[in-house]
Amino acid sequence: MSQEMWTYIFVAGTFAIYIGIAIWARAASTDDFYVAGHDVHPVVNGMATAADWMSAASFLSMAGLIAFMGYGGSVYLMGWTGGYVLLALLLAPFLREFGKFTVPDFVGDRYYSTTARMIAVVCALFVSFTYIAGQMKGVGVAFSGFLGVEFNTGIYVGMGIVFVYAVLGGMKGITYTQVAQYCVLIFAYTVPAIFISLIITGNPVPQLGFISDVKGEDVSMLAKLNQVVTDLGFKEYTSTDKSMFDMFAITGALMFGTAGLPHVIVRFFTVSSAGAARVSAGWALVFIALLYTTAPAVAGFARLNFIDTVNESTYVESLDNYDTEAAAIVAAGGKPIPKWFKDWEKTGLLAVEDKNGDGRVQYRAGADNEVTKLDRDIFVLANPSIANLPGWVIGLVVAGGLAAALSTAAGLLMVISSSISHDLCRRTLFKDMDDKTELRVARLAAAGAVVAAGFMGIYSAQLAFVAQVVAFAFGLAAASLFPVIFLGIFWKRMNREGAIASMLTGLVPTFMYIWHFKIGAGKAAGSADWFLGVSPEGIGFVFMFVSLAVGIAVSLATKAPPQDIQDLVEDIRVPGTRRSHGIADSGMAPVADHT
């Protein structure tokens, strides 16, 4: 059976599973729709959180990114996992004890302010739309690259699938499809990684292969990689050209941004208690760590293998006659370019140009480099072929990439729809709306958001901010959402005025800085003009401290929050002691009502 056939079978098969789950897990109430009825098992929620969290970028691009950046890529590894420690220790259990549906819901009630709620809605919507457009684009790329379907058609198919399970099942449908999606994506990621680790180091565990010697040689994999890349004029793999302060700032922005991302936080509203939220965060990180500790190994192996097999190999013109031509090259004592290279050349992710006319491919740093196109996604995608795995494994990897993109898109969709139906409509504009109407509005909002996200994916080439997801989403979440949530729990004196000032001082300058250096006038000047040498990816970390300081200063200069609110904050710190405090308690009835 051809590889494309296998890909079709895997993609269609997994899509059928997702839809089947959606029909089985239909949402009947707003409780089901927003938070899956508050009774998801912590381990199940951990797995769903991991799928929610790991996007098309984590699955397809991260290993390639690390392969090119070497040590500099560590910011993603530490940043996107370390944030879960902050979530587990500082936010998730307390937010669960507070018992709301959405992040703006917490902000609005804790700071007794519609203005604060609306600013949080704006932050949540902007972050989520930026992020979701990237996922839809990923779906389009996967379809057009592997199934011979047009980019736009691919997005329509993706929209259709997400529409069915998100609109029908809400958070409940999404939770269980995400569990299935996690299984698909982790299997698709680790199987090729195990084989490539075996080939290069002889150790089947990629995490151990990463620190082992190269098979049959007396030199460690990393030492050999350093040697090989410096010989070709690249910088050492275990070094970086980023400054130490910039590394520090980017890691910080990604960690605090992770903790402040609404679509991650809401996952912890779906479990039954604060204790379950803590356990669930631990399991989420276990499931995430499986992929994140494999990725740097894949990165190193792939870079080494690429240089080994492609550099100085003799180019083979035709793919159809590859076997005979390659045999001729071997007979003449040469090294033919690997077959997988030819296979992937037609997708446009790889390209070579014989600049010196010697018929061989030279991979170098600088102007003599003959590998003119080397897409960072290629390393994960080509892994199965590099490891000589059968055609169906490639189909599995494509299905895994789609699972990663769709599961993240669905989680973001929930944030968008609940911000609109719950925070904007039910809690602000139409306060007397009943549960049934709200559910209908939530479904409508989810449907609208699917369509909007699809179009943002289709026009992603024209929307400059879509390519800057990392900077925008994490920077804004770190600088504007994390400080108000954190202070709202750990400092009961924090008041409405402080919260509004803090969110705005986080949001506005971070947005402007990223826009200026990534899209606007400062793009050309680049790193020379950076404030304190901090890149746009790391600036959220700097403004987070400004936002915290402004929030504290403004709170101290203005009236303390009402006694009710201060008592409420004390209550949520001690699970099970929460009493009624006169603010709307929808979503969770107070446990110990003494009034």
**Which residues, at least 6 apart from 73, have a Cβ–Cβ distance to it below 8 Å?**
62, 65, 66, 67, 296, 299
How many binding residues for another protein (CB under 8 A)? 55
Asked if 20 is part of the footprint of another protein (rule: CB under 8 A), the reply reads no
Tell me whether residue 198 or residue 223 sits nearer to another protein (CB atom).
Answer: 223
3 state DSSP class of 374: strand
Span near another protein by CB under 8 A; candidates 214-222, 425-433, 515-523, 544-552? 214-222
**Which residues, at least 6 apart from 545, have a Cβ–Cβ distance to it below 8 Å?**
none
Among 41, 527, 579, 588, binds another protein (CB under 8 A): 579
Asked if 327 is part of the footprint of another protein (rule: CB under 8 A), the reply reads no
Tell me whether residue 346 or residue 594 sits nearer to another protein (CB atom).
Answer: 594
Asked if 570 is part of the footprint of another protein (rule: CB under 8 A), the reply reads yes
Length of the chain: 595
Tell me whether residue 85 or residue 444 sits nearer to another protein (CB atom).
Answer: 85
No. of helices (H) and no. of strands (E), the chain: 27, 4
* Separation between Cα atoms, residue 128 and residue 21, nearest integer Å: 24
3 state DSSP class of 220: strand
Tell me whether residue 84 or residue 363 sits nearer to another protein (CB atom).
Answer: 84
Q: What are phi and psi of 360, to 5 degrees?
A: -120, 160
Contact 421, 441 (CB under 8 A): yes
3 state DSSP class of 361: strand
348-407: contacts with another protein (CB under 8 A):
none
Asked if 58 is part of the footprint of another protein (rule: CB under 8 A), the reply reads no
Tell me whether residue 4 or residue 236 sits nearer to another protein (CB atom).
Answer: 236
Tell me whether residue 92 or residue 412 sits nearer to another protein (CB atom).
Answer: 92
CA 532 to chain centre: 27
Tell me whether residue 77 or residue 142 sits nearer to another protein (CB atom).
Answer: 77
The helix-helix angle for 482-490 and 103-110 (nearest 10°) equals 50
282-321: contacts with another protein (CB under 8 A):
282, 285-286, 289, 292-293, 296
Least separation in angstroms between CB 529 and another protein = 24
* Separation between Cα atoms, residue 451 and residue 285, nearest integer Å: 32
63-92: contacts with another protein (CB under 8 A):
66, 71, 73-74, 77-78, 81-82, 84-86, 88-90
The letter for the amino acid at 537 is E
Beta strands in 97-237 (DSSP E): none
Span near another protein by CB under 8 A; candidates 1-9, 211-219, 314-322, 529-537? 211-219
Give the count of alpha carbons within 13 A of 80, CB side only: 25
Among 264, 279, 466, 500, binds another protein (CB under 8 A): 279
Least separation in angstroms between CB 243 and another protein = 11
Span near another protein by CB under 8 A; candidates 31-39, 271-279, 324-332, 549-557? 271-279
* Separation between Cα atoms, residue 553 and residue 404, nearest integer Å: 42
Asked if 574 is part of the footprint of another protein (rule: CB under 8 A), the reply reads yes
Least separation in angstroms between CB 370 and another protein = 30
Q: How many angstroms separate the Cα of 286 from the Cα of each of 49, 279, 291?
A: 11, 11, 9
* Separation between Cα atoms, residue 595 and residue 593, nearest integer Å: 6
Asked if 210 is part of the footprint of another protein (rule: CB under 8 A), the reply reads yes
Asked if 532 is part of the footprint of another protein (rule: CB under 8 A), the reply reads no
The letter for the amino acid at 515 is W
Q: How many angstroms separate the Cα of 315 from the Cα of each of 311, 325, 354, 359, 366?
A: 10, 10, 9, 6, 20
Least separation in angstroms between CB 578 and another protein = 8
Asked if 152 is part of the footprint of another protein (rule: CB under 8 A), the reply reads no
Asked if 344 is part of the footprint of another protein (rule: CB under 8 A), the reply reads no
Tell me whether residue 39 or residue 570 sits nearer to another protein (CB atom).
Answer: 570
471-530: contacts with another protein (CB under 8 A):
none
CA 492 to chain centre: 32
219-258: contacts with another protein (CB under 8 A):
219-223, 238, 244, 247-248, 251-252, 255
Nearest-5° Cα angle at 172, 171 to 177: 95
Span near another protein by CB under 8 A; candidates 173-181, 210-218, 399-407, 498-506? 210-218
Q: Which of 90, 102, 161, 93 is nearest to 127 (CA)?
A: 102
Tell me whether residue 251 or residue 502 sits nearer to another protein (CB atom).
Answer: 251
Give the residues across from 360 on adjacent strands: 314
Nearest-5° Cα angle at 362, 389 to 381: 25
Tell me whether residue 92 or residue 403 sits nearer to another protein (CB atom).
Answer: 92
Asked if 208 is part of the footprint of another protein (rule: CB under 8 A), the reply reads yes
Tell me whether residue 225 or residue 326 sits nearer to another protein (CB atom).
Answer: 225
Least separation in angstroms between CB 69 and another protein = 11
Over 53-109, what HEC string results? Answer: HCCHHHHHHHHHHHHHHHHHHHHHHHHHHHHHHHHHHHHHHHHHHHCCCCHHHHHHH
Tell me whether residue 90 or residue 371 sits nearer to another protein (CB atom).
Answer: 90
* Separation between Cα atoms, residue 467 and residue 375, nearest integer Å: 15
Question: Around Cβ 261, how many Cβ atoms within 10 Å?
Answer: 29
Q: Which of 410, 479, 472, 420 is nearest to 176 (CA)?
A: 410
Asked if 541 is part of the footprint of another protein (rule: CB under 8 A), the reply reads no
Tell me whether residue 26 or residue 573 sits nearer to another protein (CB atom).
Answer: 573
Asked if 29 is part of the footprint of another protein (rule: CB under 8 A), the reply reads no
Give the residues across from 536 on adjacent strands: none
Among 122, 463, 583, 591, binds another protein (CB under 8 A): 591
DSSP H or E stretch at residue 288: helix 274-310
Among 330, 525, 589, 592, binds another protein (CB under 8 A): 592
Least separation in angstroms between CB 472 and another protein = 23
Least separation in angstroms between CB 67 and another protein = 12
Question: Around Cβ 270, how many Cβ atoms within 10 Å?
Answer: 27
Among 5, 12, 28, 211, binds another protein (CB under 8 A): 211
Residues that bind another protein (CB under 8 A): 66, 71, 73-74, 77-78, 81-82, 84-86, 88-90, 207-208, 210-213, 219-223, 238, 244, 247-248, 251-252, 255, 273-275, 278-279, 281-282, 285-286, 289, 292-293, 296, 570, 573-577, 579, 591-592, 594
